[in-house]
Amino acid sequence: MRIVDVTTTHLHAPDWPANQDATIRHPVAGRAALFVHVKTDEGIEGLGVCAPGARALIEGSLKEILLGQDPLWHEKLWDDMFWRVRGTGRKGLAFCAISGVDIALWDLKAKTFGVPLYRLLGPYTDTVPIYGSGGWTHFTEDELVREQVGYVERGIPRVKMKVAKNFGRAEAEDLRRLAAVRKAVGDEVEIYVDANNGYYAKQAIAMSKRFEQYDVRWFEEPVLADDIHGLAEISRATTIPVATGEHEYTKYGFKELISRGGADIVQPDVGRVGGVTEWLKVAHLAHAYNLPVAPHAYQLIHLHLACATPNLKVVEYLGQTEQGDRLWYTEFPEQKDGWWSPYPDRPGLGLELDPTAVRKYAR
């Protein structure tokens, strides 16, 4: 079997409101995704997904080194792509491009063997816990509470909200909003807070002391993702676990983050870290340090990877991503009472793009 083509489909639905967190300066309206199609001479096709900005790299740079190769040799193909982008970027869109192709290769591989991806990977379980994620800083307090309570009413006993509003300049408001959510959801629901890089280290330490009274279960990206020293200082200073990693790339980046004590909960993103191939290595690295994994975004892909991860903590379930997924795909498995399982009998990721959505939203 050989790769005969690599193409992309960019879908964009413009009429969706923009989201705001602590450090988004220029919110962009709409929902968008780039889908990667790896096609073979045996008619088997893999489907991947990544950031839309990676399109030019995939079609203009990675495609030519993939054509004619055996798609099952995922380690060789990953290495070829890694060195192909050596001069393009060691982080950012270059690795988003690799990630999208790699996800498609794993989807194709599982389809070749006729099994769901999680079964190909070697499952630890077939059902995983999720948390309801959102809590955007542009929400009014009433909107924030309504969203967070909405997750609980769907049976999800874990929620996440944003803090560090306006680059950390609204500390009192952060605390009022957290207090309102805790009061609304009750004492039995786990609350996670996400600062999206918005505080400074000393500020984050001070805020963490105040968050403790609300029984916050993790403090996500309290400072700039590259401030590993600051992350380690915060981790040592608070009883709340520090969760981070969504803006880290490759096993090499996570080696530095973990070995220097910057993460208590490791959050690799399959759409950035380097795809399934690299995500699994990061999860194993975290396991070697006895750290839990809680993947960021790309929830339909992470559902499969999470089932093969013994040190999994929980899977992020973003409301805005759910909205997009309902638009892009014909269907996908539904969560039930905060637990989620892949389709047990559909090969690969078990996902198909909706032809109507492709016709309507393709760019």
Q: Active-site residue numbers?
A: 162, 296
- At 140, list the tokens: 């009014």
Contact 49, 33 (CB under 8 A): yes
Q: Tokens 């490759």 appear where?
A: 250
Q: Tokens 């600051």 appear where?
A: 230
CB atoms within 10 A of CB 194: 26
Q: What is the dihedral of CA 82, 84, 86, 92, to 10 degrees?
A: -70
Length of the chain: 363
CA separation for the pair 326, 249 (Å, rounded):
28
Q: Which residues contact 239 (CB under 8 A, 6 or more apart)?
A: 212
- At 332, list the tokens: 């996908």
CB atoms within 10 A of CB 73: 13
Burial 297-328 (b: 16+ CB within 10 A, else e): bbbbbbbbbbbbbebbbbbbbbeebbebbebb
Distances (CA, A) of 76 to 69, 73, 80, 169, 309: 10, 6, 6, 47, 23
Is 204 buried (19+), middle (13-18) or exposed (0-12) by CB count in 10 A? Answer: buried
Contact 185, 153 (CB under 8 A): no
CB atoms within 10 A of CB 17: 12
Query: What residues pair up with 329 in beta bridges, in sequence order?
Result: 353
